């Protein structure tokens, strides 16, 4: 694997790279269309807010019990809300940087690269400019409550893991002008409204890990977390799930003896953007993992190292190990951020059936009923990247 390739499971899964097959004029036209679509999308979001009720400032979330304390440790609330109670100067500042935001990426003062609004209004989400109305947040909560009710009624365990955006863990690396505009985010809204959903929020543990490590949990040149970041996330997921299901054999957190940097996987290299250099951090495990047998949708099988990530681009797949940690099977509905978690799931459960959730396609949500009936799992796991929260499920889209 070359240093400009993404590590398996961490690439941005997208359609064909159309930008390699069109002329410069075509790119300009497409850029204009994309920018117009983003503007119209934002206007539509604001209009919808007026129709459904404006966005509320998320209240500070206090742990309601031991599971909440472990699974959703409080994240420091925003110190300002320029997009809720501001005087309009935040939007004026944003428009002053329209040319910068019009690119596919923005670059912070220390060379960290982030998506602009080109991908799911990422930059606007990072500062709270893109938000959900109270009705839209409730759509998400109702969606997952319906899934939980229908799945648990069949005696199946269920939990949700939201993998954070780089901007939620390293907000200080955003462009300085954006840092000054940062208020509450969609993730803050979702967590505040989640009630007793079996929701895992990994933001604070990853923030807490920053001062204690020279290694990055997210890369400065990639929108995904590193394998070390995935390990830190798993170190939070495992005790949370063990608290949710105390009678089950526990999920394990493998011991590591260190961390190493293995390369520079620059996601923005195709756009001519240079990175700061290698920072892709990988944990060094004290003990070997079991080998994993992977079967693709056509039934072709391969045996891979237990520490190898399962690439989102090859989903759906089935994985098996000779003796899993829990003795249970799991349906895992996930995206590319699940790549760094896949080695642990694949040791914890056997078989796993891993499916791509497709939230990022704007209008497609998984058919959980069909998937559960097909696989009859003991556990259903939903993992999705924080940025997908902007893709609100329509009413009735649950089970």
Pick the residue with more confidence: 26 or 118? 118
- Please check the confidence at residue 206 and state whether its pLDDT lies above 90: yes
Output 13 or 188, whichever has higher pLDDT: 188
Q: Which residue has the tokens 């190898």?
A: 308
Q: What average pLDDT is seen over the chain? A: 86
Instruction: Say what the pLDDT of residue 254 is.
Output: 98
Q: pLDDT tens for residues 296-334?
A: 989 999 999 999 999 899 999 999 999 999 999 999 999
Instruction: Collapse the DSSP code of 24 into the 3-class scheme (helix H, G, I; strand E, B; otherwise coil) and give the result.
Output: helix
Mean pLDDT for the stretch of residues 175-193: 97
Asked whether residue 339 carries a pLDDT value surpassing 60, the answer given is: yes
146 sits in which H/E element: helix 134-152
Residue 343: predicted pLDDT: 98
d(CA 343, CA 339): 8
8 Å CB contact between 306 and 288: yes
Confidence of residue 56 (pLDDT cuts 50, 70, 90): low
Cβ atoms of 308 and 319 closer than 8 Å: no
pLDDT of 58 reads 73
Q: Using omega within 30 degrees of 0 as the cis cutoff, is the peptide bond preceding 316 cis?
A: yes
pLDDT at position 261? 98
Whole-Å CA distances, 398 to 133, 146, 148, 379: 19, 6, 9, 17
Residue 395: predicted pLDDT: 75
pLDDT of residue 1: 40
Beta-bridged to residue 283, according to DSSP, are 259
Summarize pLDDT for 342-384 with one digit per residue, the tens: 999 999 999 999 999 877 664 678 889 999 999 999 999 999 9
pLDDT at 359: 75
pLDDT of 366 reads 86
Q: Which two tokens stand for residue 308?
A: 């190898």
Per DSSP, the three-state class of 143 is: helix
| Per-residue confidence band for 4, with pLDDT thresholds at 50, 70 and 90 | very low
Higher-pLDDT residue of 49 and 378 is: 378
CA distances to 5, 54, 116, 201, 233 from 360, rounded to whole Å, are 22, 24, 16, 20, 22
Here the tokens at position 9 are 């499971």
Count of beta carbons in the 10 Å neighbourhood of residue 351: 20
Give 114-143 pLDDT, tens digit per residue. Answer: 999 999 999 999 999 999 999 999 999 999
pLDDT at 14 over 50: no
Instruction: Write down the pLDDT at residue 51.
Output: 39
CA distance 66 to 231: 23
**Using one digit for the tens of pLDDT, what is the confidence trace for 159-173?**
999 999 999 999 999
Q: What letter does residue 332 receive in the DSSP assignment?
A: E
In this predicted structure, what is the pLDDT of residue 65?
A: 65
Between the alpha carbon of residue 353 and those of residues 141, 310, 359, the distances in Å are 25, 12, 18
Q: Which residue has the higher pLDDT, 253 or 357?
A: 253
332, 352 Cβ separation under 8 angstroms = yes
pLDDT score, position 57: 66
The DSSP secondary-structure symbol of 313 reads G
Helices (H), 87-133: 89-96, 98-101, 122-127
Looking at the predicted structure, is the pLDDT value of residue 6 above 60? no
What is the rounded average pLDDT of the residues 58-67? 61
Return d(Cα 278, Cα 260) in angstroms, integer: 11
So where are the chain's domains?
18-30+44-390
Q: What percent of the chain has a predicted confidence (pLDDT) above 70?
A: 83
CA distances to 28, 274, 357 from 237, rounded to whole Å, are 44, 34, 20
Name every residue whose Cβ is closer than 8 Å to that of residue 191 and which is 6 or more positions away in sequence: 58, 61, 72, 75, 199, 201
Q: Which residues pair with 318 in a beta bridge?
A: 295, 353
**Is the confidence at residue 77, as pLDDT, over 70?**
yes
pLDDT for residue 28 is more than 60: no
Entry field: residues in the chain: 399
């Amino acid at each position: 694997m070359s240093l400009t390739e993404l590590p398996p499971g961490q690439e941005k899964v997208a359609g064909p790279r159309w930008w390699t097959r069109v002329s410069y004029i075509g790119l300009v036209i497409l850029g204009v269309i994309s920018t117009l679509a983003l503007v119209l999308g934002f206007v539509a979001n604001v209009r919808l807010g007026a129709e459904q009720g404006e966005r509320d400032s998320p209240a500070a979330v206090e742990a309601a019990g031991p599971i909440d304390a472990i699974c959703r440790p409080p994240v420091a609330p925003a110190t300002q809300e320029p997009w809720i109670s501001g005087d309009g100067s935040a939007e004026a500042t944003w428009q002053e940087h329209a040319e910068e935001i019009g690119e596919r990426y923005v670059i912070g003062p220390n060379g960290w690269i982030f998506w602009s609004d080109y991908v799911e209004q990422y930059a606007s989400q990072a500062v709270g400019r893109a938000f959900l109305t109270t009705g839209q947040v409730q759509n998400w909560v109702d969606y997952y409550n319906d899934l939980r009710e229908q799945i648990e009624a069949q005696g199946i365990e269920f939990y949700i893991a939201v993998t954070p955006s780089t901007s939620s863990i390293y907000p200080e690396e955003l462009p300085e002008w954006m840092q000054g505009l940062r208020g509450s985010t969609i993730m803050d809204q979702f967590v505040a409204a989640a009630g007793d959903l079996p929701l895992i929020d990994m933001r604070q543990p990853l923030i807490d890990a920053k001062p204690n490590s020279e290694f990055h949990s997210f890369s400065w040149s990639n929108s995904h977390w590193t394998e070390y970041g995935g390990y830190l996330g798993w170190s939070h997921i495992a005790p949370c799930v063990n608290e949710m299901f105390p009678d089950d054999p526990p999920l394990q957190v493998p011991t590591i003896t260190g961390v190493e940097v293995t390369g520079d996987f620059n996601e923005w290299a195709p756009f001519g953007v240079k990175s700061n250099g290698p920072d892709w951090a990988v944990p060094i495990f004290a003990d070997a993992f079991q080998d994993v047998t992977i079967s693709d949708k056509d039934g072709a099988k391969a045996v891979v190292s237990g520490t190898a990530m399962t690439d989102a681009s090859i989903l759906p797949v089935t994985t098996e190990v000779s003796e899993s940690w829990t003795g249970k099977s799991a349906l895992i509905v996930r995206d590319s951020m699940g790549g760094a978690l896949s080695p642990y799931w694949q040791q914890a459960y056997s078989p796993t059936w891993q499916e791509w959730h497709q939230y990022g396609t704007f209008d497609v949500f998984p058919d959980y009923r069909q998937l559960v009936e097909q696989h009859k799992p003991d556990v259903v796991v939903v993992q999705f990247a924080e940025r997908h929260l902007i893709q609100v499920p329509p009413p009735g889209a649950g089970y």
